[in-house]
Structure 1
Amino acid sequence: MTHSIEHSPVFSTLKVTLDAGESIIGEQGAMISMSPSIELQAKTSGKGIFGAVKSMVGGESLFSTTYTASENNSELVLAPGSPGDIIHYEMTGRTILAQGGAYLAGTTGLELSTQGSLRAMVMGEGLFLQRISGNGHVWLSCFGAVYEKQLGPGEEYSVDNSNLLAFEEGVTYQIKKATKGLFSTFASGEGFVSRFTGPGKVWIQTRSVRGLAQVLMPFMQKSSGN
Protein backbone atom coordinates (compact mmCIF):
# COMPACT_ATOMS: atom_id res chain seq x y z
CA MET A 1 0.00 0.00 0.00
CA THR A 2 1.16 3.50 -0.84
CA HIS A 3 -0.56 6.74 0.10
CA SER A 4 -0.30 10.48 -0.46
CA ILE A 5 -2.16 13.60 0.66
CA GLU A 6 -2.92 15.88 -2.27
CA HIS A 7 -4.46 19.34 -2.82
CA SER A 8 -3.35 20.40 0.66
CA PRO A 9 -4.07 22.36 2.80
CA VAL A 10 -7.59 23.63 2.04
CA PHE A 11 -9.22 20.95 -0.08
CA SER A 12 -7.05 17.96 0.76
CA THR A 13 -7.68 14.48 -0.58
CA LEU A 14 -6.21 11.13 0.43
CA LYS A 15 -5.05 8.91 -2.43
CA VAL A 16 -4.31 5.29 -1.54
CA THR A 17 -2.97 2.63 -3.90
CA LEU A 18 -3.78 -0.91 -2.78
CA ASP A 19 -2.48 -4.27 -3.93
CA ALA A 20 -4.71 -7.34 -4.22
CA GLY A 21 -6.18 -8.31 -0.85
CA GLU A 22 -5.30 -5.05 0.91
CA SER A 23 -8.08 -3.10 2.61
CA ILE A 24 -8.72 0.29 4.12
CA ILE A 25 -11.68 1.42 6.25
CA GLY A 26 -13.14 4.84 5.45
CA GLU A 27 -15.74 7.06 7.06
CA GLN A 28 -19.20 6.93 5.52
CA GLY A 29 -19.50 9.01 2.33
CA ALA A 30 -15.77 9.80 2.08
CA MET A 31 -15.13 8.14 -1.30
CA ILE A 32 -14.55 10.49 -4.25
CA SER A 33 -13.27 8.07 -6.90
CA MET A 34 -11.79 4.60 -7.23
CA SER A 35 -10.60 1.91 -9.60
CA PRO A 36 -13.16 -0.70 -10.74
CA SER A 37 -11.08 -3.34 -8.93
CA ILE A 38 -12.02 -1.85 -5.54
CA GLU A 39 -14.83 -3.68 -3.74
CA LEU A 40 -16.99 -1.96 -1.10
CA GLN A 41 -18.58 -3.40 2.01
CA ALA A 42 -20.61 -1.23 4.39
CA LYS A 43 -20.65 -2.11 8.08
CA THR A 44 -22.43 -0.82 11.17
CA SER A 45 -20.64 0.10 14.37
CA GLY A 46 -22.33 -2.73 16.28
CA LYS A 47 -22.24 -0.76 19.54
CA GLY A 48 -25.86 -1.11 20.60
CA ILE A 49 -28.37 1.69 21.14
CA PHE A 50 -26.45 3.62 23.82
CA GLY A 51 -23.19 3.24 21.95
CA ALA A 52 -24.84 4.42 18.75
CA VAL A 53 -26.24 7.55 20.42
CA LYS A 54 -22.87 8.27 22.00
CA SER A 55 -21.12 7.87 18.64
CA MET A 56 -23.57 10.20 16.91
CA VAL A 57 -23.16 12.90 19.57
CA GLY A 58 -19.40 12.52 19.27
CA GLY A 59 -19.49 13.10 15.53
CA GLU A 60 -18.78 9.49 14.63
CA SER A 61 -20.76 7.82 11.85
CA LEU A 62 -22.85 4.75 12.58
CA PHE A 63 -21.54 3.21 9.38
CA SER A 64 -18.12 2.69 7.84
CA THR A 65 -17.02 1.35 4.48
CA THR A 66 -14.30 -1.22 3.91
CA TYR A 67 -12.53 -0.87 0.57
CA THR A 68 -10.71 -4.00 -0.62
CA ALA A 69 -8.60 -4.34 -3.76
CA SER A 70 -9.02 -7.39 -5.99
CA GLU A 71 -6.06 -6.40 -8.18
CA ASN A 72 -2.68 -4.75 -7.70
CA ASN A 73 -2.33 -0.97 -8.16
CA SER A 74 -5.97 -0.27 -7.32
CA GLU A 75 -6.53 3.44 -6.64
CA LEU A 76 -8.87 4.95 -4.07
CA VAL A 77 -9.41 8.67 -3.37
CA LEU A 78 -11.11 9.82 -0.16
CA ALA A 79 -11.94 13.25 1.26
CA PRO A 80 -13.87 14.67 4.23
CA GLY A 81 -17.09 16.63 3.81
CA SER A 82 -15.64 19.92 5.10
CA PRO A 83 -12.74 21.93 3.63
CA GLY A 84 -9.42 21.47 5.36
CA ASP A 85 -6.25 19.46 5.64
CA ILE A 86 -5.57 15.78 6.30
CA ILE A 87 -2.83 14.38 8.53
CA HIS A 88 -1.33 10.90 8.58
CA TYR A 89 -0.26 9.11 11.77
CA GLU A 90 1.49 5.76 11.85
CA MET A 91 0.21 3.63 14.70
CA THR A 92 2.84 1.34 16.19
CA GLY A 93 1.00 0.07 19.23
CA ARG A 94 0.25 3.65 20.21
CA THR A 95 -3.02 5.37 21.04
CA ILE A 96 -4.29 8.78 20.03
CA LEU A 97 -7.49 10.58 20.96
CA ALA A 98 -9.14 12.61 18.21
CA GLN A 99 -11.99 15.08 18.15
CA GLY A 100 -15.29 13.44 17.23
CA GLY A 101 -15.67 13.25 13.45
CA ALA A 102 -11.95 13.69 12.74
CA TYR A 103 -11.41 10.08 11.67
CA LEU A 104 -11.29 9.84 7.87
CA ALA A 105 -9.74 6.43 7.21
CA GLY A 106 -7.50 3.76 8.67
CA THR A 107 -6.03 0.40 7.89
CA THR A 108 -7.61 -2.78 9.23
CA GLY A 109 -6.57 -3.82 12.71
CA LEU A 110 -7.16 -0.47 14.39
CA GLU A 111 -9.63 -0.19 17.26
CA LEU A 112 -11.95 2.81 17.52
CA SER A 113 -14.15 3.76 20.45
CA THR A 114 -15.91 6.93 21.64
CA GLN A 115 -15.05 8.59 24.94
CA GLY A 116 -17.33 11.13 26.56
CA SER A 117 -19.97 11.55 29.24
CA LEU A 118 -23.64 12.44 29.47
CA ARG A 119 -22.64 15.53 31.43
CA ALA A 120 -20.42 16.62 28.57
CA MET A 121 -23.33 16.28 26.17
CA VAL A 122 -25.83 18.15 28.36
CA MET A 123 -23.55 20.94 29.59
CA GLY A 124 -21.63 21.40 26.36
CA GLU A 125 -18.41 21.65 28.32
CA GLY A 126 -16.73 18.37 27.58
CA LEU A 127 -15.15 16.55 24.69
CA PHE A 128 -16.39 13.54 22.83
CA LEU A 129 -13.21 11.88 21.66
CA GLN A 130 -12.49 8.99 19.34
CA ARG A 131 -9.91 6.68 20.89
CA ILE A 132 -7.81 5.10 18.14
CA SER A 133 -5.31 2.37 19.00
CA GLY A 134 -3.45 -0.55 17.47
CA ASN A 135 -0.99 -1.00 14.64
CA GLY A 136 -1.33 0.49 11.18
CA HIS A 137 -2.08 3.83 9.57
CA VAL A 138 -4.75 6.40 10.37
CA TRP A 139 -5.73 9.61 8.59
CA LEU A 140 -7.52 12.46 10.34
CA SER A 141 -9.27 15.40 8.70
CA CYS A 142 -9.48 18.90 10.13
CA PHE A 143 -11.33 22.14 9.47
CA GLY A 144 -8.80 24.58 8.04
CA ALA A 145 -5.08 23.91 8.34
CA VAL A 146 -3.41 21.95 11.13
CA TYR A 147 -0.29 22.47 13.20
CA GLU A 148 1.49 20.25 15.67
CA LYS A 149 2.54 21.24 19.19
CA GLN A 150 5.22 19.09 20.82
CA LEU A 151 5.01 19.38 24.60
CA GLY A 152 7.93 18.62 26.87
CA PRO A 153 7.57 16.86 30.24
CA GLY A 154 5.39 19.02 32.50
CA GLU A 155 4.85 21.67 29.82
CA GLU A 156 1.30 23.06 29.75
CA TYR A 157 -0.66 24.41 26.80
CA SER A 158 -4.32 25.39 26.38
CA VAL A 159 -6.42 24.78 23.27
CA ASP A 160 -9.99 25.89 22.58
CA ASN A 161 -12.10 22.75 22.54
CA SER A 162 -13.50 23.51 19.09
CA ASN A 163 -9.98 23.85 17.65
CA LEU A 164 -8.62 20.63 19.10
CA LEU A 165 -7.94 17.93 16.52
CA ALA A 166 -6.08 15.16 18.38
CA PHE A 167 -3.43 14.33 20.97
CA GLU A 168 -1.32 11.38 22.03
CA GLU A 169 -2.59 9.32 24.94
CA GLY A 170 0.45 10.13 27.09
CA VAL A 171 -0.66 13.76 27.21
CA THR A 172 -2.98 14.55 30.13
CA TYR A 173 -5.72 17.17 29.92
CA GLN A 174 -8.21 19.09 32.02
CA ILE A 175 -11.27 20.95 30.74
CA LYS A 176 -11.49 24.50 32.06
CA LYS A 177 -13.25 27.77 31.33
CA ALA A 178 -11.09 30.06 29.23
CA THR A 179 -11.92 33.06 31.45
CA LYS A 180 -13.12 33.65 35.00
CA GLY A 181 -16.64 34.95 35.51
CA LEU A 182 -19.72 35.03 33.31
CA PHE A 183 -19.10 38.56 32.02
CA SER A 184 -15.56 37.79 30.92
CA THR A 185 -16.77 34.63 29.20
CA PHE A 186 -19.50 36.55 27.36
CA ALA A 187 -17.32 39.55 26.48
CA SER A 188 -14.34 37.55 25.25
CA GLY A 189 -16.41 35.06 23.26
CA GLU A 190 -14.27 32.24 24.66
CA GLY A 191 -15.82 29.08 26.06
CA PHE A 192 -14.13 25.96 27.34
CA VAL A 193 -10.53 25.02 26.74
CA SER A 194 -8.49 21.89 27.27
CA ARG A 195 -5.30 22.41 29.24
CA PHE A 196 -2.76 19.80 28.18
CA THR A 197 0.32 18.68 30.07
CA GLY A 198 3.19 16.94 28.29
CA PRO A 199 5.07 15.02 27.25
CA GLY A 200 3.55 14.31 23.86
CA LYS A 201 2.03 15.78 20.73
CA VAL A 202 -1.13 17.83 20.30
CA TRP A 203 -2.62 18.64 16.88
CA ILE A 204 -4.63 21.84 16.50
CA GLN A 205 -6.93 22.90 13.66
CA THR A 206 -6.85 26.57 12.66
CA ARG A 207 -10.60 26.89 12.11
CA SER A 208 -13.70 25.44 13.75
CA VAL A 209 -17.25 24.67 12.68
CA ARG A 210 -18.48 26.65 15.69
CA GLY A 211 -16.53 29.70 14.52
CA LEU A 212 -18.00 29.42 11.03
CA ALA A 213 -21.51 29.12 12.47
CA GLN A 214 -20.98 32.33 14.48
CA VAL A 215 -19.88 34.18 11.34
CA LEU A 216 -22.90 32.98 9.36
CA MET A 217 -25.49 33.49 12.11
CA PRO A 218 -26.29 37.18 11.36
CA PHE A 219 -26.85 36.38 7.69
CA MET A 220 -29.07 33.42 8.52
CA GLN A 221 -31.19 35.59 10.83
CA LYS A 222 -31.64 38.20 8.09
CA SER A 223 -32.59 35.51 5.61
CA SER A 224 -35.21 34.00 7.93
CA GLY A 225 -36.70 37.44 8.56
CA ASN A 226 -37.43 38.06 4.86
Structure 2
Amino acid sequence: MAPTFEVLHSAAGPSAALRVTMPALNDTVHCESDAAVCWRGNIQLEGKAQGGLLASLFRSVVGGESFFVQTWRATGPTAGTVNEVILAPEEPGGIVVVTVNHGEDMLLVAGAYLANEPAVNVETDVQFKNVITSVVSQTGLFVLRARGRGKLAIHGHGALKTVELAPGESLAVDNGHVVAWSARTNMRVGAAASSIVSSFTSGEGFACFFTGPGFVVYSTHKPPTQVSSSSKAAKANNGPVGNCIAVLVVLLFVVVFVGVFGTIAYLAITGQLENNTSGGGGRSHRSGRIGSRHSHYHEDF
Protein backbone atom coordinates (compact mmCIF):
# COMPACT_ATOMS: atom_id res chain seq x y z
CA MET A 1 0.00 0.00 0.00
CA ALA A 2 1.09 3.56 -0.67
CA PRO A 3 0.67 6.56 1.64
CA THR A 4 -2.58 8.47 1.24
CA PHE A 5 -2.74 12.27 0.99
CA GLU A 6 -5.85 14.08 2.25
CA VAL A 7 -6.27 17.86 2.28
CA LEU A 8 -7.95 19.18 5.43
CA HIS A 9 -9.73 22.48 4.92
CA SER A 10 -10.23 24.98 7.71
CA ALA A 11 -13.72 26.27 8.39
CA ALA A 12 -12.25 29.54 9.68
CA GLY A 13 -10.57 30.55 6.44
CA PRO A 14 -8.55 29.47 3.42
CA SER A 15 -5.83 27.80 5.50
CA ALA A 16 -5.41 24.09 4.87
CA ALA A 17 -3.40 21.18 6.22
CA LEU A 18 -2.38 17.82 4.77
CA ARG A 19 -3.02 14.47 6.42
CA VAL A 20 -0.63 11.72 5.30
CA THR A 21 -1.55 8.18 6.34
CA MET A 22 1.04 5.39 6.15
CA PRO A 23 -0.76 2.07 6.78
CA ALA A 24 1.96 -0.38 5.69
CA LEU A 25 5.45 -1.10 6.96
CA ASN A 26 8.11 1.21 5.46
CA ASP A 27 5.55 3.55 3.89
CA THR A 28 7.52 6.76 3.45
CA VAL A 29 6.84 10.41 2.69
CA HIS A 30 9.19 13.37 2.29
CA CYS A 31 8.16 16.88 3.27
CA GLU A 32 9.42 20.39 3.80
CA SER A 33 11.39 21.04 6.99
CA ASP A 34 9.31 22.12 10.00
CA ALA A 35 6.07 21.21 8.20
CA ALA A 36 4.83 18.68 10.77
CA VAL A 37 1.98 19.81 13.03
CA CYS A 38 1.25 16.56 14.88
CA TRP A 39 1.63 12.81 14.36
CA ARG A 40 0.72 9.48 15.90
CA GLY A 41 1.24 5.76 15.47
CA ASN A 42 4.34 3.76 14.62
CA ILE A 43 6.20 6.30 12.49
CA GLN A 44 9.76 7.55 12.62
CA LEU A 45 11.17 10.97 11.69
CA GLU A 46 14.51 11.64 10.03
CA GLY A 47 16.07 14.84 8.73
CA LYS A 48 18.59 14.78 5.93
CA ALA A 49 20.07 16.79 3.08
CA GLN A 50 18.19 15.16 0.24
CA GLY A 51 20.26 14.74 -2.91
CA GLY A 52 23.55 15.60 -1.20
CA LEU A 53 25.11 18.79 0.15
CA LEU A 54 25.43 20.62 -3.16
CA ALA A 55 21.88 19.82 -4.31
CA SER A 56 20.47 20.81 -0.91
CA LEU A 57 22.49 24.03 -0.88
CA PHE A 58 21.32 24.93 -4.38
CA ARG A 59 17.70 24.12 -3.49
CA SER A 60 17.93 26.23 -0.33
CA VAL A 61 19.69 29.28 -1.76
CA VAL A 62 17.89 29.66 -5.10
CA GLY A 63 14.90 27.33 -4.77
CA GLY A 64 13.34 28.92 -1.71
CA GLU A 65 13.18 25.62 0.16
CA SER A 66 14.84 24.43 3.35
CA PHE A 67 18.29 22.87 3.35
CA PHE A 68 17.10 19.76 5.19
CA VAL A 69 14.06 17.66 4.27
CA GLN A 70 11.91 15.64 6.66
CA THR A 71 11.39 11.93 6.01
CA TRP A 72 8.56 10.11 7.77
CA ARG A 73 8.57 6.31 7.68
CA ALA A 74 6.14 3.76 9.12
CA THR A 75 7.95 1.30 11.40
CA GLY A 76 5.11 -1.19 11.39
CA PRO A 77 1.32 -1.55 11.42
CA THR A 78 -0.41 -2.19 14.74
CA ALA A 79 -4.02 -3.22 15.22
CA GLY A 80 -6.08 -0.25 16.30
CA THR A 81 -3.26 2.22 15.59
CA VAL A 82 -3.27 4.80 12.81
CA ASN A 83 0.06 5.89 11.38
CA GLU A 84 -0.39 9.47 10.27
CA VAL A 85 1.22 12.88 10.28
CA ILE A 86 -0.45 16.26 9.78
CA LEU A 87 1.56 18.69 7.66
CA ALA A 88 1.02 22.38 7.00
CA PRO A 89 3.00 25.21 5.39
CA GLU A 90 4.11 28.01 7.67
CA GLU A 91 2.32 30.66 5.62
CA PRO A 92 -1.49 30.23 5.60
CA GLY A 93 -3.02 29.23 2.30
CA GLY A 94 -4.36 26.37 0.24
CA ILE A 95 -2.98 22.93 -0.59
CA VAL A 96 -3.56 20.72 -3.62
CA VAL A 97 -2.35 17.19 -4.31
CA VAL A 98 -1.37 16.36 -7.88
CA THR A 99 -0.10 13.17 -9.48
CA VAL A 100 3.24 13.29 -11.26
CA ASN A 101 3.59 10.80 -14.11
CA HIS A 102 6.66 9.49 -15.90
CA GLY A 103 7.56 11.71 -18.83
CA GLU A 104 5.39 14.60 -17.62
CA ASP A 105 7.44 16.80 -15.31
CA MET A 106 5.91 19.53 -13.20
CA LEU A 107 7.32 22.99 -12.53
CA LEU A 108 6.71 24.76 -9.22
CA VAL A 109 7.48 28.30 -8.18
CA ALA A 110 10.02 28.61 -5.38
CA GLY A 111 8.50 27.91 -1.98
CA ALA A 112 5.47 25.97 -3.28
CA TYR A 113 6.72 22.50 -2.30
CA LEU A 114 5.16 20.77 0.72
CA ALA A 115 5.42 16.95 0.47
CA ASN A 116 5.97 14.09 -1.96
CA GLU A 117 6.17 10.33 -2.25
CA PRO A 118 9.69 8.86 -2.52
CA ALA A 119 9.21 7.98 -6.21
CA VAL A 120 8.88 11.69 -7.01
CA ASN A 121 12.16 13.58 -7.25
CA VAL A 122 12.06 17.32 -6.57
CA GLU A 123 15.07 19.36 -7.67
CA THR A 124 15.94 22.94 -8.55
CA ASP A 125 15.80 23.90 -12.22
CA VAL A 126 16.80 27.03 -14.13
CA GLN A 127 14.62 28.53 -16.87
CA PHE A 128 17.50 29.49 -19.15
CA LYS A 129 15.35 29.32 -22.28
CA ASN A 130 12.68 31.63 -20.85
CA VAL A 131 14.61 34.24 -18.88
CA ILE A 132 12.36 37.16 -19.82
CA THR A 133 9.21 35.07 -19.33
CA SER A 134 10.35 33.90 -15.90
CA VAL A 135 11.02 37.46 -14.75
CA VAL A 136 7.87 39.10 -16.13
CA SER A 137 5.59 36.22 -15.08
CA GLN A 138 7.04 36.39 -11.53
CA THR A 139 7.53 32.62 -11.56
CA GLY A 140 11.24 33.23 -11.07
CA LEU A 141 14.35 32.21 -12.96
CA PHE A 142 14.85 29.34 -10.51
CA VAL A 143 11.95 26.91 -10.14
CA LEU A 144 11.42 23.43 -8.74
CA ARG A 145 11.05 20.51 -11.13
CA ALA A 146 9.20 17.39 -10.00
CA ARG A 147 9.70 14.19 -11.99
CA GLY A 148 8.98 10.52 -11.50
CA ARG A 149 5.68 8.94 -10.55
CA GLY A 150 3.59 9.55 -7.44
CA LYS A 151 1.75 12.14 -5.40
CA LEU A 152 3.01 15.66 -4.83
CA ALA A 153 1.52 18.22 -2.43
CA ILE A 154 1.99 21.91 -3.20
CA HIS A 155 0.76 25.03 -1.44
CA GLY A 156 0.20 28.69 -2.18
CA HIS A 157 -1.39 31.84 -0.79
CA GLY A 158 -5.16 31.91 -0.68
CA ALA A 159 -7.17 29.10 -2.24
CA LEU A 160 -5.63 26.94 -4.98
CA LYS A 161 -7.33 25.84 -8.16
CA THR A 162 -6.19 23.20 -10.67
CA VAL A 163 -7.26 23.62 -14.30
CA GLU A 164 -6.88 20.81 -16.84
CA LEU A 165 -6.16 22.04 -20.36
CA ALA A 166 -7.04 20.01 -23.44
CA PRO A 167 -4.74 20.19 -26.48
CA GLY A 168 -5.02 23.70 -27.91
CA GLU A 169 -7.07 25.01 -24.97
CA SER A 170 -5.80 28.25 -23.41
CA LEU A 171 -5.87 29.84 -19.98
CA ALA A 172 -4.70 33.32 -18.95
CA VAL A 173 -3.47 33.82 -15.37
CA ASP A 174 -2.43 37.14 -13.89
CA ASN A 175 1.29 37.16 -13.19
CA GLY A 176 2.08 36.42 -9.57
CA HIS A 177 -0.82 33.97 -9.21
CA VAL A 178 0.88 31.02 -10.93
CA VAL A 179 1.88 28.24 -8.52
CA ALA A 180 2.63 25.21 -10.73
CA TRP A 181 2.19 23.96 -14.29
CA SER A 182 3.01 21.01 -16.52
CA ALA A 183 6.41 21.23 -18.16
CA ARG A 184 4.85 20.26 -21.50
CA THR A 185 2.32 23.10 -21.31
CA ASN A 186 3.30 26.07 -23.44
CA MET A 187 3.60 29.30 -21.45
CA ARG A 188 4.13 32.80 -22.75
CA VAL A 189 3.82 36.27 -21.23
CA GLY A 190 1.93 39.15 -22.78
CA ALA A 191 -0.15 42.22 -22.04
CA ALA A 192 -3.33 41.41 -20.12
CA ALA A 193 -5.44 43.76 -22.29
CA SER A 194 -5.49 44.44 -26.00
CA SER A 195 -3.02 47.31 -25.59
CA ILE A 196 -0.14 48.12 -23.27
CA VAL A 197 -1.87 51.30 -22.08
CA SER A 198 -5.07 49.48 -21.14
CA SER A 199 -3.08 46.70 -19.49
CA PHE A 200 -1.40 49.09 -17.09
CA THR A 201 -4.27 51.54 -16.57
CA SER A 202 -6.50 48.59 -15.64
CA GLY A 203 -3.98 47.51 -13.02
CA GLU A 204 -3.45 44.04 -14.51
CA GLY A 205 -0.23 44.68 -16.41
CA PHE A 206 1.12 41.39 -17.75
CA ALA A 207 -0.47 37.95 -17.72
CA CYS A 208 0.70 34.37 -18.30
CA PHE A 209 -0.94 32.57 -21.22
CA PHE A 210 -0.92 28.76 -21.06
CA THR A 211 -1.82 26.45 -23.93
CA GLY A 212 -2.59 22.76 -23.37
CA PRO A 213 -2.24 19.91 -23.10
CA GLY A 214 -1.42 19.86 -19.41
CA PHE A 215 -2.65 21.55 -16.28
CA VAL A 216 -2.06 24.75 -14.34
CA VAL A 217 -2.34 25.45 -10.62
CA TYR A 218 -3.03 29.04 -9.63
CA SER A 219 -3.71 30.81 -6.34
CA THR A 220 -6.41 33.35 -5.52
CA HIS A 221 -3.91 35.62 -3.76
CA LYS A 222 -0.42 36.79 -4.59
CA PRO A 223 2.40 36.09 -2.13
CA PRO A 224 3.21 38.99 0.20
CA THR A 225 5.95 41.22 -1.13
CA GLN A 226 7.65 41.38 2.25
CA VAL A 227 8.41 38.07 3.93
CA SER A 228 8.94 38.11 7.67
CA SER A 229 12.25 36.92 9.07
CA SER A 230 10.44 34.05 10.77
CA SER A 231 9.10 32.62 7.52
CA LYS A 232 10.20 29.22 6.33
CA ALA A 233 12.10 30.61 3.36
CA ALA A 234 14.02 33.00 5.59
CA LYS A 235 14.86 30.21 8.03
CA ALA A 236 15.92 27.98 5.18
CA ASN A 237 18.29 30.55 3.73
CA ASN A 238 19.42 32.37 6.88
CA GLY A 239 19.25 29.70 9.57
CA PRO A 240 22.46 29.09 11.54
CA VAL A 241 22.83 25.50 10.36
CA GLY A 242 22.22 26.37 6.73
CA ASN A 243 24.60 29.32 6.91
CA CYS A 244 27.36 27.25 8.52
CA ILE A 245 27.05 24.53 5.89
CA ALA A 246 26.95 27.10 3.10
CA VAL A 247 30.12 28.76 4.42
CA LEU A 248 31.87 25.40 4.74
CA VAL A 249 30.94 24.43 1.19
CA VAL A 250 32.15 27.77 -0.17
CA LEU A 251 35.41 27.49 1.77
CA LEU A 252 35.88 23.96 0.46
CA PHE A 253 35.48 25.18 -3.11
CA VAL A 254 37.95 28.01 -2.49
CA VAL A 255 40.53 25.65 -0.99
CA VAL A 256 40.17 23.17 -3.85
CA PHE A 257 40.36 25.92 -6.47
CA VAL A 258 43.42 27.55 -4.90
CA GLY A 259 45.10 24.17 -4.47
CA VAL A 260 44.52 23.10 -8.06
CA PHE A 261 45.50 26.49 -9.49
CA GLY A 262 48.59 26.67 -7.28
CA THR A 263 49.68 23.18 -8.28
CA ILE A 264 49.29 23.95 -11.98
CA ALA A 265 51.21 27.23 -11.60
CA TYR A 266 53.99 25.52 -9.64
CA LEU A 267 54.38 22.76 -12.22
CA ALA A 268 54.41 25.29 -15.04
CA ILE A 269 57.07 27.46 -13.36
CA THR A 270 59.34 24.58 -12.33
CA GLY A 271 59.01 23.01 -15.77
CA GLN A 272 60.02 26.27 -17.44
CA LEU A 273 63.04 26.63 -15.16
CA GLU A 274 64.18 23.10 -15.93
CA ASN A 275 63.85 23.75 -19.66
CA ASN A 276 65.89 26.95 -19.38
CA THR A 277 68.58 25.23 -17.32
CA SER A 278 68.92 22.27 -19.66
CA GLY A 279 68.93 24.57 -22.69
CA GLY A 280 71.69 26.78 -21.23
CA GLY A 281 73.82 23.75 -20.33
CA GLY A 282 73.56 22.44 -23.86
CA ARG A 283 74.72 25.74 -25.31
CA SER A 284 77.70 25.90 -22.91
CA HIS A 285 78.71 22.37 -23.81
CA ARG A 286 78.60 23.14 -27.52
CA SER A 287 80.59 26.35 -26.98
CA GLY A 288 83.23 24.37 -25.10
CA ARG A 289 83.62 21.93 -27.96
CA ILE A 290 83.93 24.75 -30.50
CA GLY A 291 86.55 26.47 -28.35
CA SER A 292 88.50 23.22 -28.10
CA ARG A 293 88.57 22.81 -31.86
CA HIS A 294 89.85 26.39 -32.25
CA SER A 295 92.67 25.68 -29.79
CA HIS A 296 93.83 22.64 -31.74
CA TYR A 297 93.74 24.67 -34.94
CA HIS A 298 96.10 27.31 -33.53
CA GLU A 299 98.48 24.69 -32.19
CA ASP A 300 98.82 23.09 -35.64
CA PHE A 301 99.91 26.37 -37.11
**Structure with greater helix percent:** 2
Q: Assess, with a 3 A threshold, how the Cα gap between structure 1 residues 49 and 22 changes in structure 2: closer, same or farther.
A: closer
Match of 1:27 in 2: 32
User: What is the deviation of 1:175?
Assistant: 3.3
Match of 1:78 in 2: 87
Q: Give structure 1 stretches of 5+ with no counterpart.
A: 214-226
Aligned match for 1:111, one of 121, 136, 142: 121
* Corresponding letter in the other structure for 1:39: Q
Residues 44 and 62 in structure 1, CA contact (< 8 A), matched pair in contact too = yes
Q: Map 1:1-226 to 2 at 5 A.
A: 1-8=3-10, 10-18=14-22, 19-35=24-40, 37-46=42-51, 52-53=57-58, 55-72=60-77, 73-93=82-102, 94-117=104-127, 124-125=135-136, 127=140, 128-176=142-190, 178=192, 187-210=201-224
Q: Give structure 2 stretches of 5+ with no counterpart.
A: 228-301
More moved, 8-17 vs 105-114: 8-17
Structure 2 distance, partners of 1:124, 1:95, is 21
TM-score (norm 2): 0.61
Residues 59 and 66 in structure 2, CA contact (< 8 A), matched pair in contact too = no
Structure 1 distance, partners of 2:204, 2:150, is 37
Residues 59 and 123 in structure 2, CA contact (< 8 A), matched pair in contact too = no
Flag the structure with more relative contact order, 1 or 2, with Cα contacts below 8 A and sequence separation at least 6: 1
- 3-state SS, counterpart of residue 56 of structure 1: helix
Q: Assess, with a 3 A threshold, how the Cα gap between structure 1 residues 68 and 203 changes in structure 2: closer, same or farther.
A: same
Structure 2 distance, partners of 1:116, 1:192, is 22
Residues 55 and 114 in structure 1, CA contact (< 8 A), matched pair in contact too = no
More moved, 189-198 vs 106-115: 189-198
Q: Assess, with a 3 A threshold, how the Cα gap between structure 1 residues 44 and 50 changes in structure 2: closer, same or farther.
A: closer
Identity of aligned residues (%): 30
Q: Assess, with a 3 A threshold, how the Cα gap between structure 1 residues 50 and 17 changes in structure 2: closer, same or farther.
A: closer
User: What is the deviation of 1:133?
Assistant: 1.1
* Corresponding letter in the other structure for 1:7: H
- 3-state SS, counterpart of residue 176 of structure 2: helix
Count of residue correspondences: 211
Q: Assess, with a 3 A threshold, how the Cα gap between structure 1 residues 46 and 107 changes in structure 2: closer, same or farther.
A: closer
Residues 158 and 194 in structure 1, CA contact (< 8 A), matched pair in contact too = yes
User: What is the deviation of 1:84?
Assistant: 1.4
Residues 173 and 195 in structure 1, CA contact (< 8 A), matched pair in contact too = yes
Residues 112 and 155 in structure 2, CA contact (< 8 A), matched pair in contact too = yes
Q: Assess, with a 3 A threshold, how the Cα gap between structure 1 residues 108 and 53 changes in structure 2: closer, same or farther.
A: closer
User: What is the deviation of 1:211?
Assistant: 6.5
Residues 7 and 19 in structure 2, CA contact (< 8 A), matched pair in contact too = yes
Structure 2 distance, partners of 1:54, 1:66, is 17
Structure 1 distance, partners of 2:75, 2:42, is 5
**Structure with greater strand percent:** 1
Structure 2 distance, partners of 1:16, 1:155, is 34
Residues 27 and 103 in structure 1, CA contact (< 8 A), matched pair in contact too = yes
Q: CA RMSD in A?
A: 3.0
- 3-state SS, counterpart of residue 123 of structure 2: strand
Structure 1 distance, partners of 2:60, 2:226, is 23
